[in-house]
Amino acid sequence: MAGYLACAPVNAEEAVRFQSAAVAPTPLQMRNAQQNGQALKAVPGTPLNGYLTRPPGEGPFPAVVVLHACTGLSPDVKKTWSERLSSWGYVSLFVDSFSTRGIRETCDGKPLADRVYDAYGALEFLSKYSFVDPRRIALAGSSAGGTTTLEAVQSGGAEHLMERKFKVAIAYYPNCSATNGDMAVPTLILIGELDDWTPAKKCQDMMAHRSGKGSAVQLDVFKGARHAFASPGLKTGSEDYGHRVEYNAAAAEQSITDVRVFLKEAFGG
């Protein structure tokens, strides 16, 4: 498998298949099971679809795993960001967490907790390519994907059960109440001042109550911007699930610059 991945041709956008990371029992679960004479096994990963792009050249390149919002994987976002990341010199893998699970959206229901393991399955998959530097892989996500990104790299969470680790994390408009702010890797959070879906205040409160442990967290709050401010398809704005979503050109451009600087500082080049 590794040999095939090392030499497989990759197009500008190649559809790929991989599995989410197996969910291993925690040490506490293992101890409790042993005390009761039981044996616990890891829950196998879920087959997933993804879309891979790479810059020209042999590499090895740094890479970014990208998680979509609660509405699913947007073709426009995938195209725009895969081309952007490739032009910056990064491999990208966009993870589709819904299609193989028969899910259309999770915007008005319970978040899909398994997406944390989707991220680590993508990390493991990318790390096998010869043109990817496994020591320089970032995790990024927007909205629900941004929330999953924070959960995936929170210190003491799922990340400490995983052999491979992300180098840095980037979260666009996440729900910051999902984390205590202690991150295992340097993390960039980008959110709109007027976001009424995932309020900026929750991120500001998280920053104020961080324990000071773990890696640095950078919070960028964009004045006058609402949820999904970096989505050009929302130039006229709309009401989604009772919340205002709207593109903001100034915030979008500044956030793109911030992401590029953040990745460059983390990976060099």
What percent of the chain has pLDDT above 70?
Answer: 90
184 has pLDDT over 80: yes
Domain locations along the chain: 2-218
Q: Report the pLDDT value the prediction gives residue 109, as an integer from 0 to 100.
A: 74
Regarding predicted confidence, which is higher, 255 or 34? 255
Regarding predicted confidence, which is higher, 12 or 75? 75
Q: Report the pLDDT value the prediction gives residue 269, as an integer from 0 to 100.
A: 64
Regarding predicted confidence, which is higher, 40 or 265? 265
Residue in the block written with tokens 């790929």: 16
Q: Report the pLDDT value the prediction gives residue 4, as an integer from 0 to 100.
A: 32
Is there a contact between 132 and 101 (Cβ–Cβ < 8 Å)? no
What percent of the chain has pLDDT above 90?
Answer: 75
Q: Report the pLDDT value the prediction gives residue 104, as an integer from 0 to 100.
A: 93
Is there a contact between 50 and 16 (Cβ–Cβ < 8 Å)? yes
Phi-psi region of 85 (alpha: psi -120 to 50; beta: other; left: phi over 0): alpha
Average pLDDT over residues 74-95: 95
pLDDT band at 130 (very low <50, low <70, confident <90, very high): very high
What's the whole-model pTM score? 0.89
Residue in the block written with tokens 């050109």: 249
Q: Report the pLDDT value the prediction gives residue 24, as an integer from 0 to 100.
A: 67
Query: Tell me, what DSSP letter sits at residue 111?
Result: -
Any residues with CB less than 8 A from the CB of 185 and at least 6 apart, and which?
153, 165, 166, 167, 168, 169, 215
Q: Report the pLDDT value the prediction gives residue 155, as an integer from 0 to 100.
A: 94
Collapsed DSSP state (helix, strand, coil) of residue 199: coil
Regarding predicted confidence, which is higher, 26 or 84? 84
pLDDT band at 33 (very low <50, low <70, confident <90, very high): low
Average pLDDT over residues 150-179: 94
Which CATH code for domain 2-218?
A: 3.40.50.1820
Q: Report the pLDDT value the prediction gives residue 63, as an integer from 0 to 100.
A: 98
The mean of the pLDDT values for the chain is 90
Q: Which helix (H) or strand (E) holds 64?
A: strand 61-67
Regarding predicted confidence, which is higher, 33 or 211? 211
